[in-house]
Amino acid sequence: MTDYMLPEATLFRSLTEDERITVITHLFERSTELEKMIVPEFSFVMSYGELIAHSRALLLNLASESASDPKQMKVLLDILAAHPRLGARKIESSHSVAEQASLQSESEALAELNAEYEKKFPGLRYVVFVNGRSRDLIMKDMRERIQRGEYELEKIEAANAMCDIAIDRAKKLGAIFAFN
C-alpha cells in the first residue's frame, strides 16, 4: 500500500491546501473536482469520521442535483471516473491496487462486465467497496446492478462506495480513533 500516515485530525485547520489535497488523495482517488468540494471542509470538521461523513453528504447531494443539472452531472462523472475500473491492469493508486488484489488476475469476463455496465449506465463507473470479496462475488453484484438498471440509484451506490472505501483507508492510514 503506502507508508503514508494521515495527520492528526487536530491539525486539519492548519494544513496547507497541498496537504489537504494529499489527505483527500489518500482517502479517495485523485480528482480535482472532489478536491474543490472537500478542501474547504477541513476548516469545519474535527475528525476523519466527520470529514468522510460530510464528504458523503456532499457527494449524495451532488448525485441528487445531477439528475436535473448537466453541470453537476459532469462534476459527478468526473469524480467517479477517477476511480479505476475493477480488474484494470493499470491502476495508479497504490491503495486501489491493494484493495483490488483479489481481482487483478486476467479476467476477460470482468472486462466485459465493466463494458456492459458502462453501456447500461453511460458516463458512470462501477464503484464498489471490494473489502477482500472474491471476483465472483463482485461480478455477481455488478450483474445484479446492471439488471436492476436504475441509473439514479447507481449514482448513490457509487457515492456511498467511495465513502466506505475512504473510511477503510482512513483506518488503515492511522485514523482508527475517529471511528469508535
Confidence of residue 102 (pLDDT cuts 50, 70, 90): very low
State the cell numbers at 70: 448537466
Q: Are 175 and 48 in contact (CB under 8 A)?
A: yes
Nearest to 40 by CA among 21, 63, 25, 62: 21
- DSSP secondary structure code for residue 6 in this structure: P
CA 123 to chain centroid, in Å, comes to 15
State the cell numbers at 34: 472532489
pLDDT exceeds cutoff 60 at 68: yes
For the chain, domain boundaries: 9-179
pLDDT exceeds cutoff 70 at 28: yes
Angle (deg, nearest 10), helices 151-172 and 17-27: 110
- Residue 151 to residue 23: CA distance in whole angstroms: 30
Each residue's pLDDT tens digit, 122-157: 999 999 998 888 888 999 999 999 999 999 999 999
pTM for the full model? 0.85
Q: Which CATH architecture has domain 9-179?
A: Orthogonal Bundle (1.10)
* pLDDT score of 101: 46
Q: Are 46 and 13 in contact (CB under 8 A)?
A: no
pLDDT exceeds cutoff 80 at 163: yes
DSSP for 31-65? -HHHHHHHGGGGGT-SSHHHHHHHHHHHHHHHHHH
Confidence of residue 74 (pLDDT cuts 50, 70, 90): very high
